[in-house]
Amino acid sequence: MNNGETSTSMVKKYRPLAVAAGIGSILGSGIIVGLSATITVWQNGLGLTNSQVGIISGALTFAIAIGSLLAGQITKSFGLVKSFNWLNLIYAIGALICVFSNNYIMLLIGVIITGLASGADLPISLTVVSHDAPDDKTSASLVSSTQIFWQIGVFMSYVCAFIVSKMAGASGARIVFSILAIFALITWAWRTFSTKFRAFHEEGEQRCIDREAASQTTEKVSIKTVFAGANKGRFMAFFFSILIFYVCWNLLANTFGQFQTFTLVQAHASQSFATGAGIVLNFISLLATMAFASVAGGKYRNKFFLVGITVQFLAMLGLAMSSHSLWPIVITIGCYNIGNNIAGEAMYKVWTQEAFPVEVRASVQGFINGFSRVCCGLFALITPALVVPSAIRNTMFGFAAIVFISFVAGLTMMRLEKKHGINNF
């Protein structure tokens, strides 16, 4: 059996673990889109004021950010595997509080609990996958595949919200959150009681022990030893390259995620056209993510990245040139969604898992996730003023500059990986 066949068989063997981790991504995108799509339903059903709606939406953003920032401390306090197993039960509790809420405070508490659990679960889940995977190539393929589930979560939330949109009161929103709670409970039970996963965890831990023994090191790996130790220059370069790339990428992704429909409506599209276009564009994103996942562990990964980042840059220039015309905007947003998912979050996840020791991956990725979400939350305060027809041309030129900065950071990261022998691409 050649190496390609061996790698394929390993990916197939460990695929269930990636699916269990990926469902956490479905829940992560599900709570964001689910709340966004049902917030007006909650407002009408519970009689919320506009300020209360704003507080609930903002609370979710910052709860996810805080959960991400605390991921490393959570694994340190409770253990990596135990955190991976039980966080979805906490998510389910928060979602069920939302389901049974009958006032503003109860809904706010439920949203905060769900957001904290969701924010912590993503970096921890990816760390478990890379920890248990038998080799780097298998890890890259599995980690990148979890991004597919994020897109599935977005799509499912939109569909569910559309189906229940005609229900009276807050009933439709309660159904959406009930579905999220059920998914979370199933995932909790699967992760916790699967004997196959238990064996994966034990084998992964043994490999870590064997690597430590082979390296003949007695110093425990920690954030301090990584960023203040003998190889601090290497890890700081990795960290800032990934951080700059992901923050720049996420500013654009978050802007288009939240304001894509708004932008289309501002270009004189009907609400139904804008919503329908959003579903189609989301499907395009899913296909692009699947395409990248198929090459994430191979020699074509960097080529895909370069194509994806170029498409993003050209799409921003295209939007700048066609700032008032509907169909050119739809086409360029479609191109952006392709490039965005080929050279985007899946690449960031793989880089983070490859660049840092397994002991600190949850902490590093949690910090980058949390910091990025805070930046996006602050940027969202001014975004509506940037995407109106009178300003969108200059905004898109500015976004093109942001894409270029992310390209430079990504190119730097690829060269660092080659320099330090992390992969042979």
Task: Tell me the Cα Rg of the chain.
Answer: 21
Task: Report d(CA 68, CA 116) in Å as an integer.
Answer: 8
Digit-coded pLDDT (tens) for 201-241? 999 999 888 877 776 655 678 898 999 988 899 999 999 99
Full pLDDT tens readout for the chain, 425 residues: 455 546 678 889 999 999 999 999 999 988 988 887 788 788 888 998 888 888 888 889 889 999 999 999 999 999 999 999 999 999 999 999 999 999 999 999 999 999 999 999 999 999 999 999 988 888 888 998 888 898 888 888 777 777 776 777 788 889 989 999 999 999 999 999 999 999 999 999 998 888 777 766 556 788 989 999 888 999 999 999 999 999 999 999 877 766 676 667 767 777 567 667 777 888 888 889 888 888 887 888 999 999 999 999 999 998 888 756 788 888 888 899 899 989 998 899 899 989 999 889 989 999 999 999 889 878 877 877 787 777 878 988 999 999 999 999 999 999 999 999 887 65
Q: 354 with 416: CB under 8 angstroms?
A: no
Please, what sign has the CA dihedral across residues 7, 12, 17, 23? positive
**pLDDT value for 109:** 97
**pLDDT value for 226:** 92
**pLDDT value for 78:** 94
Q: Which of 262, 265, 286, 261 minimizes the C-alpha distance to 275?
A: 261
Q: 345 with 140: CB under 8 angstroms?
A: no
**pLDDT value for 218:** 56
**pLDDT value for 1:** 43
The secondary structure of 207-230 as a DSSP string is HHHHHHHHHT--SPP-HHHHHHST
Virtual torsion, Cα 56, 62, 67, 72, nearest 10 deg: 180
**pLDDT value for 37:** 74
User: 356: number of CA atoms within 13 Å, CB side?
Assistant: 34
